[in-house]
Each structure stands twice: as C-alpha cells, then as structure tokens.
Chains A and B, each alone.
Chain A
C-alpha cells in the first residue's frame, strides 16, 4: 500500500498486479498533464500525457485519468513488472500567459515492484 516516506510517498506491489499512482495538481488553470518515470541517476522519461479536454487516455499498459473537479490525476499501470520500479512524477502545464511552457512537477511516488 501507500506510505509517506521521508520525502516521497512509496507504493509497493507484486509483479503482475496493477498499480495506481495518484497526483494532486495545484493550478486549476493547468490544461496539459504529463506522467514521467525517473530511474535512479537519470532524467525523466515520458510515459503518457493528457489534455484538459479529456478525462481518460490509454497507452500501452498505462492509463491516465484526469478529474478536473478535484484537481486529481492518476496513472494506472497494468500487469506491473520489476522494470517498472522507479519514481513517477506528474507534471502540469499552462498553455498561456507568463507560465507558457513551464512544467511544474508534483511530489513523486516511489514504485517498487517485487518479483
């Protein structure tokens, strides 16, 4: 289950289980959202994105859900594999004004997949 560590919350799952990682974003004006995977010592890797005119988008083994009413984003990973172990971040973007193009990252969640 989820727990809050020193800085980042953690999620531990068994291989083959489905994982759900949650994110609360901060700005109601954000209209584009991205999930990233970051492995130790590396830069973030794009997983999936969604625009604010959608509430669900599916990729290969991943699904992103967006609830604008409560400013909540989730990433679902199906049949989680040990290679999915990493830190997962959500990021939000505002398409206009002075914040154009800036990505603001969420807190992040450490996902550990046990064989």
Chain B
C-alpha cells in the first residue's frame, strides 16, 4: 500500500532557529501534499496545501513566511518552520494523495516539534 515517510519524528530546537520537516511518498507519486498541525488533545488543523511545481496554498491565519513549504518533486514536500518560537511547538503531520488513486490520502507518522 501507499507509504508516506516523515522525518524527523522528533526535533527540539532553540527559539529563533529554523527547522525543516520532510514528507516523502515512497511508492507513489503525490501531486498534492497537505500539512497539518495538531496541538495536544485537539484535532488536526490544515495549514496548507502543497502542489508539485507551484506555490503552496495556505489556510486563513497561517503565516506563509513563517511556514515555508516546498514541493519540488512528485515525491517530496518540505515544511520549514522559520524563526521558531515556543508557541510553534506542536505535532506536525503531512498527508499525500496518490494521483492514480483519486481521493486516497496517506498520512505520515508526524513530527513532534519542541521549541525551547
């Protein structure tokens, strides 16, 4: 079945630094990837939609200059949290759609970001 690999699984960074999270579709091509953020005991909130070869579409209230998304190939999307602050600490999850499976969505295992 479709597999999405997300790295790193955990990262601790100092306030003011940037962190990059990678999301790879291992056995299928993903024209579209989605990035979510999840705070403890809350639901997943969509941050942005990443389309291969074009600019990401951000949800209302999500700062595009803070959360940089790059989808340079059909198998890789990256989310960079720039100038991270403690309030950015969260669980970040990516999801990829298999272009040949219509609406099939596969999720990565998530990245726990802690900003100290």
Report the minimum CB–CB distance from B48 to chain A (whole Å): 10
Q: Closest B-chain residue to A45, C-beta based?
A: B107
Query: Could you count the A-B residue pairs with CB atoms below 8 Å apart for me: how many are there?
Result: 56
Q: In the complex, are the beta carbons of B41 and A5 less than 8 A apart? A: yes
Q: In the complex, are the beta carbons of B43 and A93 less than 8 A apart? A: no
Separation of A34 and B97 alpha carbons in the complex (Å): 14
Q: In the complex, are the beta carbons of A101 and B43 less than 8 A apart? A: no
Is B42 on the interface with A (CB-CB < 8 A)?
A: yes
Within 8 A of B (CB), among A73-115: 89, 93, 95, 101-108
Within 8 A of A (CB), among B59-101: 91, 93, 95, 97
Q: In the complex, are the beta carbons of A102 and B42 less than 8 A apart? A: no
Is A59 on the interface with B (CB-CB < 8 A)?
A: no
Interface of A is mostly: loop
Is A7 on the interface with B (CB-CB < 8 A)?
A: yes
Contacts of B6 in A (CB 8 A): 43
Contacts of B95 in A (CB 8 A): 43, 103
Q: In the complex, are the beta carbons of B93 and A43 less than 8 A apart? A: yes
A41-B110 contact, Cβ under 8 Å, with A101-B49, A101-B97: yes
Q: In the complex, are the beta carbons of B34 and A102 less than 8 A apart? A: yes
Q: Report which residue of B95, B105, B109, B112 has the largest number of chain A beta carbons within 10 angstroms of its beta carbon.
A: B105
Is A54 on the interface with B (CB-CB < 8 A)?
A: no
Report the minimum CB–CB distance from B100 to chain A (whole Å): 14
Q: Report which residue of A8, A44, A108 has the largest number of chain B beta carbons within 10 angstroms of its beta carbon.
A: A44
Contacts of B32 in A (CB 8 A): 101
Separation of A101 and B23 alpha carbons in the complex (Å): 18
B residues bordering A, Cβ < 8 Å? 4, 6, 32, 34, 36, 40-46, 49, 91, 93, 95, 97, 103, 105-110, 112
Which 3 pairs between the two chains have the least Cβ-Cβ distance? A43-B107, A7-B41, A105-B44
Contacts A34-B105, A46-B105 aside, 13 further interface pairs with beta carbons under 8 A come to: A6-B41, A7-B40, A7-B41, A8-B42, A36-B107, A44-B44, A95-B103, A102-B34, A103-B46, A103-B95, A104-B46, A105-B43, A105-B45
A residues bordering B, Cβ < 8 Å? 5-8, 32, 34, 36, 41-46, 89, 93, 95, 101-108
